[in-house]
Structure formats: structure tokens, C-alpha cells
Structure 1
């Protein structure tokens, strides 16, 4: 709550337009309503106007201040179809029925985002990760000089001893089942950059393993060890001030006393506020355990490495979960080129500058 409250204050000073493709989902409508009521910006929900209004009436939700946009009746549809067709041809992708594709809300929302008709996008309450990521990858694409796209889940715990006053950044919780050394290093750096952007402090990044500093020899531990060295190098090249430590076990990352006992030369001066997992299974399991067992507030995943700000929320998310993801996405949009220099210039169907 404290973390999101701080982001809400920032967003109130710099309101943004967030598009919610799942406009007929009650929790999404409630989050959009809260987004407007808190003066965070202009929420845009997609869907049949009749269905959206029917859901709003059923749940006693006001649509005042919420823009309801039906892709099938939008004046933008023809232009979107033309651009999408040109984009697919330029990339050598198979021909599809562009109109039918753009009528799908995540594709329509991705085009809005790419054309700067929205500042951020939040989806996933009724869609799979693949259903959210595919349109974004096809239409928005990666940020400049970025090869790895991943997902960062932001967790806020009641116990402020952990992370940064209880806030932890976990990655990759979304995209890459078993990242390579290069991918793991890029995930670590991009997550650290996001943590720096949102928290305003030096990130303390722990690249996790079942081993600490060679206490066990295994390919997985060696991969994390190599990724740590590469992440340090990449951070120096990008002038990112952050501490990277790995490979380390979770108790070493979170408990300074355990860290000193197991690793006297540990680089972390305080508990890590960024946790990088060796593969997707462990990251997903950890995030959901914190949500269900520790009753933590869990937001995202926030999508890393895209040319525009976007977040994917798990299916069945509450209105508060969705609002939190929207707040993070909106704050990213305030100074997005600081996260990804040169981002936001790619326009679908046109040559990239």
C-alpha cells in the first residue's frame, strides 16, 4: 500500500492515459473507475458499448470519466488495419485477416499504444500471458538496443525488513522458461533499472541459485555466476549504479546475518531489493507463494524490454491488483526514455528511425 500510494502521488502530478482491453470484466471496470477517481489520468476501456454499460449497471459502477471504445465501431480501425498489414509484410510474417485480428482487444490496444493514443496498457485479467504478449511483440516490439523481453513482479510485504521498506522486485516472472547467461544478465539490469526508476534508490540485486558462491557445482549455478559478472559489466556500460551479487541462496539475499555467515565478502550491504531467479518456474512459484501464503500485495508482471509501457496481470486479479499495475505502468510512462533511451519512436508500418 505504501509503495502504490507513493506512485499514485506521482501520477496525480503527471496523469496518463491507460488502455484496459478487457472492458467487460467487472474488476477491470472497477480499476478503471478508481484510476479516474484518484485523478491518475484518463482510463480507456475496450469492448462493445452495450456490454460494457450492462456490466457497469450490474455492478453499480459509474462510467463517468471512462472512455469506452468499441474497436468494431472505431474510426481508427481502417487505419489500424492498413498499418498492421504493412507491418506484417515488412517483417515477413504470414498473411492473416488483419481486420479480424485488429478486432481482438489486445491487438487493438497494442496499436493504440504504439501510435501514442494511449500512454500505457494493462491486460491479462481474462487472457493468458501469451494472449497479451503476442500482440505487443508484433505491434509495439522491443525497445531500442534491447534483445530480451521479460516480466517483473513487484511485491510489497507487510514486514519492512525485507527489500526496500518491504518492496521487492522479482524477475523473470513472465516470459523466458530457462534464460541464457546473456538473457539472465539483461533481465537483471533491466529489472534494476526499473527498481531505480520507481524507488529512487540504488538497486541491490541478488541473482539467486540453490548454491552460494560455488558451494555446489552445477550448470545452473555456473550460469547464474556468469550472468552476475556480465550484469555488472552491462551496468557499467550503461552508467547504471547498482550492486549485483550472485550466485547466492535466498537466505543470503534477504538476511544479512545469514549472508555474513555463509559469505563474509558478500557485496550486498543490506537485504536485496531485486531478486533475479534462475528460471521461470521458481520465479512464478515464489511470486504466487508470497501472494497466497504471505498475503503480500503483488503487482504485474510489468513487461520489461518493450518500446512502450505495459503490464500483464494474472487472470482473476482483483481491482486493486489491476489498479496497482496501472499505477506502475503510468509512472513508467512519465519518463519512459530514461528506462529505455530512444524508446517510443517506433511507429508500426513505418521505417524505424
Structure 2
């Protein structure tokens, strides 16, 4: 898969510091061995050094070159706790409580990023999404002007006539159940940034609905139409159009009939769904019935790259997401 090869090659050049909070988890350690061997990233494993070494020995992996940090004894705990208290002072967070929270690797990891001691985080192999994201929301927070975190999938549809040589971005497939029009606009803008940073495509964004350009009237249609206007105000350089039905977004012959004046219709490569229900069903339909490869979710909207794994992930999934996170980290610098 040429895109993943390019993403990994870029990561090898960027050499970002990626923290893996689930440091003694076997799949994570297998992934760490591959990442270190292929020089994809600088790896930081969180946990008890003795436990990590024991598990690595039991499963026969070599993690030489990884930095191992014990959140319970690390010398930066005091500084991190002070920063946590400052960030959460409006919530009345006491330093004693902050120090106790830092025993949790899922809290320690985003504080490493906040302090500039790591460039990104990948977690979720054995932790629920909410547990991964909660401390990220509290301490890393979202990008300026963005109030919502969303999840995009890269879809390889095995047909170069669609999207960007057979690659499309779908969002939001993972986080927001029912975004309002402003949140939907933010999802569109951040997905465009992800498309540029990871895929290298010039995004053409279709805001999906069951209506195309007023062919139906309903508050749900109004939400998508208004979100399109807001997204254009947020970033006037975007090629974005809506509301639009899926066939009008992807099929040139349908676009000529339904949206002849659109510079997106029939050529869309970023599909923004009106809600999580439609998006999650949509990407899984394409994945299962059309045999598409789905990579993600890639979390977007955070002020630093923090990505959540599926608990059913493989070691190779972790390797790929670490490489993607490296590319996101480089894009943040730019």
C-alpha cells in the first residue's frame, strides 16, 4: 500500500517521540520492537521497568532503544503536577490529587506531551476510548477555535476512479454522536487538515445529506447546509460543498444532474457525514461489502496528536498508527 509506505518513510525522517502508556501490553511491545527495528519513531514506554522487561522476555521481543518511564517514580512528577494544578485551577485541582492522578499512565502520557517531553501518544489496546481521551481533553485540550474532537478513517476503496486515486477520508466515524452545525463545520475543517497531513491530498469536501441543494426540506438538511456555510467562513481556501447526497458527491454523471455548478460534486475525496450513526454504518458498509481497507480512527481536533486504538488491534495496527501520529506531529510543527 503506497500511502502507508510513504507515511512510514516520512515517520522515519521525522523521528518523533511517541509515548505508549500501555507499556507492558504484549501487542504494544511487539509493535515497539518493529518500530525500533525499522527506525520509525523514538518510543517511550510507560510502566514498571521490571514488568515491561519481564513481559518482553516472556514473548521474546527486543525493545532495546526504547525509553522506559515509570510514572510512579519519575523525577518530573512534581513539575507535571504543578502544571496540572495550573491547567485545572478553575476546577480546584489540588497538587496531592494531581500527584495521585499521575500514577495513571493515561494521565502521565498527555502531561509528557504538554511539557514538551513527547510529541504524540498512542493508546487504547487495553483501555476504553473514554479513558484514553478524558485526560487528553483535560490537559492537552483542543486546537484553538476548535471545540470538538472527531475521528477520521482513511478508506482504500480499490477503485482509482473514486476520491484521490482510490483513497477517501470519512468523518466523523468515531466520536461525536450528533454534532450541531458548528461542530459539523469544525469536523470538516479538521478532516481537511488530516487529509493534507497524512494522505497528501488536496481536499474536496462533500457535506453529506439525504438532500442535494435543496431537493428535500428538513431541519437535518438545514443543519448540513448551515455547517457548510460555517466551514467556508472558518477556512475560505477550502473546496467544500453541501448539502449533498452520496451519489452526487462521488458520481460525475449524477453530479451533472444534481449539482452542475459544484467544484466538489462528482469528485469528492473527503466525505463528512451528518452524524456518527450514518458515518459508522457507512464506513463499515464500504469496508465489509466493498472490501475496502479502513485505517483509523485518526483523532483530530486535539492540540497535539493523541490517537486511540481499538481493543481488538494487532501489533501492525499499532505500528501504522504510530507512523500516522508521527506525520500528524510533523504537521503540527508546520
- Asked if Structure 1 and Structure 2 have the same fold, meaning a TM-score greater than 0.5 normalized by the shorter chain, the answer is yes
How far the C-alpha of 1:220 sits from its partner, in A, is 0.9
Distance 1:131 1:280, change over 3 A: same
Q: Does 1:60 align with 2:60?
A: yes
CA contact (8 A) 1:205 1:272 kept: yes
Q: Secondary structure at the match of 1:213?
A: coil
Corresponding residue for residue 154 of structure 1: 154
Corresponding residue for residue 239 of structure 2: 243
CA contact (8 A) 1:298 1:321 kept: no
| Cα-to-partner distance string for 1:231-266 (whole Å, 9 max, x where unaligned) | 122221xxx3x3112111222222222333433333
Within a 5 Å distance, the mapping from 1:246-257 to structure 2 comes to: 246-257=242-253
Q: Does 1:77 align with 2:73?
A: no
Instruction: Measure the CA separation in 1 of the matches of 2:111 and 2:325.
Output: 17
CA contact (8 A) 1:3 1:156 kept: no
Distance 1:179 1:124, change over 3 A: same
Instruction: Measure the CA separation in 2 of the matches of 1:275 and 1:269.
Output: 11
Q: Does 1:334 align with 2:330?
A: yes
Corresponding residue for residue 127 of structure 2: 127
Corresponding residue for residue 267 of structure 1: 263
Instruction: Measure the CA separation in 1 of the matches of 2:182 and 2:283.
Output: 23
Q: Secondary structure at the match of 1:151?
A: strand
Q: Secondary structure at the match of 1:72?
A: coil
How far the C-alpha of 1:27 sits from its partner, in A, is 2.0
TM-score normalized by the length of structure 1: 0.87
Distance 1:55 1:210, change over 3 A: farther
Q: Does 1:168 align with 2:168?
A: yes
Corresponding pairs, count? 333
Q: Does 1:31 align with 2:25?
A: no
Instruction: Measure the CA separation in 1 of the matches of 2:106 and 2:174.
Output: 17
| Cα-to-partner distance string for 1:97-146 (whole Å, 9 max, x where unaligned) | 22231111111100011111111111122222211111111111122233
Q: Secondary structure at the match of 2:39?
A: coil
Instruction: Measure the CA separation in 2 of the matches of 1:273 and 1:93.
Output: 45
Distance 1:47 1:243, change over 3 A: same
Within a 5 Å distance, the mapping from 1:200-211 to structure 2 comes to: 200-211=200-211
Distance 1:140 1:189, change over 3 A: same
Instruction: Measure the CA separation in 2 of the matches of 1:252 and 1:319.
Output: 38
CA contact (8 A) 2:148 2:187 kept: yes
Choose which of 287, 293, 296 in structure 1 pairs with 2:292.
296
Distance 1:299 1:201, change over 3 A: closer
Q: Structure 1: any 5+ residue segments left out of the alignment?
A: 339-353
How far the C-alpha of 1:315 sits from its partner, in A, is 1.8
Instruction: Measure the CA separation in 2 of the matches of 1:36 and 1:105.
Output: 21
Corresponding residue for residue 350 of structure 1: none
Instruction: Measure the CA separation in 2 of the matches of 1:153 and 1:20.
Output: 21
CA contact (8 A) 1:122 1:313 kept: yes
CA contact (8 A) 1:129 1:174 kept: no
Choose which of 299, 306, 321 in structure 2 pairs with 1:310.
306
How far the C-alpha of 1:269 sits from its partner, in A, is 6.0
Instruction: Measure the CA separation in 1 of the matches of 2:92 and 2:250.
Output: 45
Distance 1:297 1:218, change over 3 A: same
Corresponding residue for residue 15 of structure 1: 15
Instruction: Measure the CA separation in 2 of the matches of 1:120 and 1:51.
Output: 23
TM-score normalized by the length of structure 2: 0.91
How far the C-alpha of 1:277 sits from its partner, in A, is 1.0
Instruction: Measure the CA separation in 2 of the matches of 1:203 and 1:295.
Output: 23
Supply the RMSD in Å over aligned alpha carbons.
2.1
